[in-house]
Amino acid sequence: MLLRIILFSYFYFLYLSTEAQYKFLPENIFEDKTHAPFIHGVASGDPLQNKVILWTRISLPDTTKSYEVKWQISSDSIFSQIKNSGIALAENEHDFTVKIDAELLEPNHQYFYRFEHNGKFSAIGKAKTLPNENITHVKFAIASCASVWSGFFNAYRRIAERPDIDFVIHLGDYVYDYADKDELIRMPDPAPKDVSSLEEWRERHRYYLLDADLRAARQNKTWIAEWDNHDTDCEKPGTTEDAIKAFYEYLPIRIPDTTHLERIYRSFKFGDLAQLNMIDMHLFRGKEEYAPGQKSVLGNLQDTWLKQELKNSTATWNLIGNQEMMGSWMSQGLPKFLNAPGNGKVFDPGNWDGFPKDRERLYSFITDNKINNVVVLSGDAHMSFIINLTATPRDRKLYKRRTGEGAVGVEVLFSSITRGNMNEAGIPKEFIPMAQSISRDLNPHHLYNQFSKHGYGTLDVTPERCIAEFWYSAILSPQLTEKFGRGYTVLNGKNHWERKPNRNRKKSTYP
């Protein structure tokens, strides 16, 4: 009898512990044992005016069973003012993840939530709802491209700690399907392999949630997320369906269309101040034609949807969450001996630069319908950019670099959380400022670029202006600080960026 108890306890631990699958785990990778069986933390996302998605996962030994998980959401952190509660089932079908669409909430309100199973509680998470009336301020953190093996998630920890952040927008590559051989900073034993099945995608998400900094960012902020190519492995047919299923299971996302799971594009309204349209250029890119011989980057249905959302918007600011650079990044004019990536005309024909006519159609639609204050938020490049959106960046008659006249909107790309850029590519540090300068010379609509730092960005929105700020973090070791990089402002109705003066900021003096 004693032997059976010992064996059961041993195998229970092996199942319960993701850590037990590894001979070695790098620093800051561990389960939240304090809140077992909720060892992967909690999260909230996809806020609406009266509801928000709550997420957790339960880790228990018997995978043939379903488990009841209780949940509560309250106006206070001691749960004396519970606004809604219920019981959900954690089932094998969804890898024992739990997603609740918590309803009956008040607009523009901060809530606290938790889960419970057999008297054991999860960590307490924070969730925020959208406003349904006039507001004068909202602030976002924007993140993308987080390889857990490429470095430490210091940027996520800073996001979690900042009291001035209302919501997190994640633009994709939340997880990576493989580790870059040049960026093996935090490697477990055994090393990760390229994922190729549903269970491997689930395991990849579970491993990511061993990172305490990522858990903190998910626990303390309400997320609006979308996938990119590494989340969905869309370049390798046959694995996309499994990747999408795991992504929906592990991210606090309200599925926009249960009959078409590949559709992740959706919109969020922040009163009359801002509307955020999250678009997907990856799963639909190049699969349809909007005219004979003219490929669509978004697909016809999504293209129509986005334009209608922009046209019908009554918000002051029209934000677009977009995986890859929309404004062109031209390489034409570089000497051939530099062997620049791309096709000799643009650095990355895989982004919107591969669909210039389709991009011009969108710009023309914005101009023809007199749509102002379009702010595109993009990721994927692993570098930082401030861009004025124009179809003719090198035509000095149609676009004025000094004043921004001729731009139809603006774009900002914040650097990667950790995934490599020029700093990890073995390029001499002395060459990087030169590369940045040459790139700006070739692209008059690029006001700022930074090719070697990592971090995240913020977008501070009021009726009068949007301010984009770059915040940089070290990735080679855990750090308690970050550095303010640069800030740019776009004024209401101006449709182009202006430089915001640098300020020396300390961690405790966020605006």
Q: Which token pair is 388?
A: 């004025």
Report whether CATH 3.30.1360.30 matches the domain 138-509.
no
H/E element, 205:
helix 198-208
Which residues share a beta bridge with 294?
Answer: 291
pLDDT at residue 501, rounded to an integer? 60
Q: Alpha helix (H) ranges present in 209-349?
A: 212-220, 229-232, 240-250, 300-312
- SS3 for 360? helix
CA distance 254 to 284: 20
Q: What is the pLDDT of residue 197?
A: 94
Contact 47, 222 (CB under 8 A): yes
What whole-number distance in Å separates Cα of residue 165 and Cα of residue 471? 13
CA distance 262 to 259: 9
Q: Which amino acid is at 457?
A: G
Locate 357 and state its tokens. Answer: 């006519």
Q: What are the residue boundaries of the structural domains of the chain, listed by start?
A: 31-128, 138-509
pLDDT of residue 506: 47
**Residue 249 in tokens:** 């299971």
CATH of domain 31-128: 2.60.40.380
Q: Which of 143, 141, 140 is nearest to 416 (CA)?
A: 143
Using DSSP's 3-state secondary structure scheme, residue 484 falls into strand
Distance CA 97, CA 122 (A): 13
- For the chain, residues with pLDDT lower than 70 are 1-18, 234-237, 501-511
For residues 231 and 247, the answer to whether their CB atoms sit within 8 Å is yes
